Amino acid sequence: MKNEIEFVSILYKSALYNDELELRNRLLRLPLGLDLYNEDLCVEEAQRHYGMLDRNGTLIACALIVGHGNTVKLRQMAVDEKFQGHGIGSQLIDHIECELVPQTARIELNARTSAVNFYKKLQYKEIDSRVFNEVGVAHIKMYRDLL
């Protein structure tokens, strides 16, 4: 499956961005009884959007990077259910990290507690072990130093 996917940068307000919104809404918001389209999305123009396309050009994974410089935040990572467990999320993060080096020294993120082990496998560490609530879901703050 690795040779069948492509890493892409997603332009804000593009057709691919609309696909990204649909994927994020379906996987991250609707299961919580929330709707991404009720949020102020204009702030996303200043964020960097990345994704993975399958061989048909369908967006199957996405993530955002907030901020520039030494420390950035990874957020809103989603992998289509049909592709989970196939290394797509790991590949997406690997590509994003390569894009960020050398201008970025650290990536931080708020991991859902259900995803903490996924990030640990990618060498992310807990900033502290305190669990906090974000959008009604338990999270832990994590980071990875790139440099």
- Whole-number Å distance between alpha carbons of 44 and 64: 9
Q: Indicate the number of domains in the chain.
A: 1
Give the ranges where 25-114 is alpha helix by DSSP (H): 88-100
Whether 41 is covered by a domain: the verdict is yes
User: What is the percent of the chain with per-residue pLDDT over 90, rounded to a whole number?
Assistant: 92
pLDDT of residue 128: 86
Q: Can you tell me the mean pLDDT for 86-102?
A: 95
- Whole-number Å distance between alpha carbons of 12 and 58: 17
pLDDT of residue 129: 87
Whether 74 is covered by a domain: the verdict is yes
Give the ranges where 1-147 is alpha helix by DSSP (H): 15-24, 88-100, 116-121
Q: Are 145 and 105 in contact (CB under 8 A)?
A: yes
Whether 73 is covered by a domain: the verdict is yes
Whether 114 is covered by a domain: the verdict is no
User: Is the model's pLDDT at 1 over the cut of 60?
Assistant: no
Task: Residue 26: give the domain boundaries.
Answer: 2-107
Among 40-44, 65-69, 78-82, the range scoring the smallest mean pLDDT is 65-69
- Whole-number Å distance between alpha carbons of 48 and 41: 13
Whether 39 is covered by a domain: the verdict is yes
pLDDT of residue 3: 60
User: Is the model's pLDDT at 9 over the cut of 80?
Assistant: yes
Whether 10 is covered by a domain: the verdict is yes
Q: Can you tell me the mean pLDDT for 23-43?
A: 96
CATH number at residue 93: 3.40.630.30
